[in-house]
Structure 1
Amino acid sequence: MDLSALAVPHTLAHLKPLLPALPARILEAGCGRGALAAALADLGYEVTGVDRNAEMVAAASERGVSAIHADVNDISGEYDVVLFTRSLHHAEDLDATLAHAATLLAPNGQIIIEEFAWERVDEAAADFVYDNRALLVAAGLLDAETPARDLLDAWIEGHNHLHRGSTMIDALNRVGSDLTTVATAMLWRLVDGRGGTWNVPAGASGVLDAIRRFEERRIAAGTLPSVGLYASARR
């Protein structure tokens, strides 16, 4: 099974309060294989996906998603929402990408991001990620290796080339107004090291769902940081 079967409902639960009323026009930047775009279309939104990876666009098209093989910076048109789903942290020029996204918005349109603030990870969070990864590897459910060195240093080394969550929020605030942010669990989607794009053996779905619940309980208890990040700003 694709991890999206678990991840999409989690994403939708946090996106719905931020999205405008149906039938809004949504451009999803970094649509991947189109699982979220298809789910949004099923709800009644008019969704267009865009991705720089031709293979991903082909897979999204097979799902029935209207998908474009392009960089979001080369897209034109008018949308009620430009949605970045775990893609903005890769932007070569963060301000330029968000400024272009703002030009695609209809009056009162929104830029919405789903991201992870990797810089919020502390020693407890790094232990949570890599210990759960090691368990999945030991159970034969994952091939990724757990680093043998300091886990927090390994996390930082693996992510410090990406934009920080705080940097993305500051940039979003510069191009929009009425900024809204929501912090959530996200580490459970990062245990593979690829942020939720891996194919999960059917028997692992319950394990990953349990890891998500463990993370949410620890966040509520104050022993883990909320690394997941949703944010919205209006034109």
Structure 2
Amino acid sequence: MDTETMDNHQYAWLSEALPRGPQRILDAGCGRGELAAALMRRGHQVTAIDISQEAVEAARAAGVLAVRADIVKYPDSADDGSAPVSYYDGGSLFDVVVMSLALHHMHPLEAALDRVLSLLVPGGLLVVDEFAWDWADPAAATWFYDAGSLLAAAGVADFTREPSGPGRHPVERWREAHVDHAPADDMLAALAERFEVVTMRREPYLSRYIGGKLTNGSTDLLNELWRIERDRIAAGSLPHTGFRMTARKM
């Protein structure tokens, strides 16, 4: 396999995680539809939902069959009359549910996962790519805010810098910023209660987080952030702040 970069790491992983052949996939929390569009290009039948109307409109502009809906009530919560009945007929018809950086935003967490379980065929696969903010330590928070501030000062990132002078410790700022996000430990426990875990691995995430704030679209800059974070994790000076899991409906 080619060298893993910020550009290809998610798709490389998904190519390993997804079953062979075209799948009926629900992208729950699709955002702007980049992942759903990539899965469609690979021959999958993809339905995408998101609670944000702005995200749904962006996904549709990218050619994705997207519906504004809350996963907890889907498909009943689809509010524009365009629930994808050709892909979903009220039964458990999805072979795969993909949740990419979405589960930590979903409340209540348990109800969202219960609904996902009901939307999968027997033996269906749940694929989760997640942010583990509660695994960050002082070194991770400091690295994140220092790197973000430098990039903002260089004019290449939309990143809020702390005022000069004595201020909060980066850990305090980090916790305040993510207090409404579900902790990874809670997500993992809720997943294990409902599904048979097939694979689980910890992953870098800080560079992906900062990369989403870059304004110049520099691939080289993204890949350098990615390389630095991975090297620091390998050296033991930064923790993993993400995880990837595949789990099967029992």
TM-score by length of 2: 0.84
Could you tell me how far apart the structure 2 residues matched to 1:8 and 1:24 are? 23
2:71 is matched with 72
Of the three residues 221, 232, 235, the one matched with 1:207 is: 221
Please give the per-residue CA displacement for 1:94-137, whole angstroms capped at 9, x wherever unaligned. 11110110000012101221111111101111111011101111
Structure number with the higher helix fraction is 1
1:174 is matched with 193
Could you tell me how far apart the structure 1 residues matched to 2:6 and 2:31 are? 13
Matched length: 225
Identity rate, percent = 38
Please give the per-residue CA displacement for 1:197-233, whole angstroms capped at 9, x wherever unaligned. x46313x332222111100111111111111211121
Once the 2 structures are TM-superposed, how far is the Cα of residue 35 of structure 1 from its aligned partner? Answer: 0.4
Could you tell me how far apart the structure 2 residues matched to 1:8 and 1:105 are? 29
The alignment status of 1:89 with 2:89, answered yes or no, reads no
Letter in 1 for 2:160: E
The alignment status of 1:163 with 2:182, answered yes or no, reads yes
Letter in 2 for 1:25: R
Q: Work out whether residues 173 and 179 of structure 1, in 8 Å CA contact, stay in contact via their aligned partners in 2.
A: no
SS in 1 for 2:96: strand
Once the 2 structures are TM-superposed, how far is the Cα of residue 179 of structure 1 from its aligned partner? Answer: 4.0
Letter in 2 for 1:174: E
Could you tell me how far apart the structure 1 residues matched to 2:143 and 2:214 are? 21
SS in 2 for 1:21: coil
Letter in 2 for 1:129: F
1:56 is matched with 55
Q: Work out whether residues 94 and 120 of structure 2, in 8 Å CA contact, stay in contact via their aligned partners in 1.
A: yes
1:183 is matched with 202
Could you tell me how far apart the structure 2 residues matched to 1:22 and 1:152 are? 44
Could you tell me how far apart the structure 2 residues matched to 1:11 and 1:40 are? 11
Unmatched segments (≥5 aa) in structure 1: 1-5
Unmatched segments (≥5 aa) in structure 2: 76-87
Of the three residues 126, 135, 138, the one matched with 1:120 is: 135
2:78 is matched with none
Q: Work out whether residues 158 and 215 of structure 2, in 8 Å CA contact, stay in contact via their aligned partners in 1.
A: no
The alignment status of 1:32 with 2:47, answered yes or no, reads no
Letter in 2 for 1:70: A
1:3 is matched with none
Greater Cα shift, 143-152 or 25-34: 143-152
1:219 is matched with 233
Once the 2 structures are TM-superposed, how far is the Cα of residue 191 of structure 1 from its aligned partner? Answer: 2.5
* Coordinate RMSD, CA, aligned: 1.7
Q: Work out whether residues 219 and 225 of structure 1, in 8 Å CA contact, stay in contact via their aligned partners in 2.
A: yes
The alignment status of 1:137 with 2:136, answered yes or no, reads no
SS in 1 for 2:8: helix
Q: Work out whether residues 98 and 128 of structure 2, in 8 Å CA contact, stay in contact via their aligned partners in 1.
A: yes
2:85 is matched with none
Q: Work out whether residues 197 and 245 of structure 2, in 8 Å CA contact, stay in contact via their aligned partners in 1.
A: no
Could you tell me how far apart the structure 2 residues matched to 1:141 and 1:179 are? 39
Once the 2 structures are TM-superposed, how far is the Cα of residue 8 of structure 1 from its aligned partner? Answer: 5.7
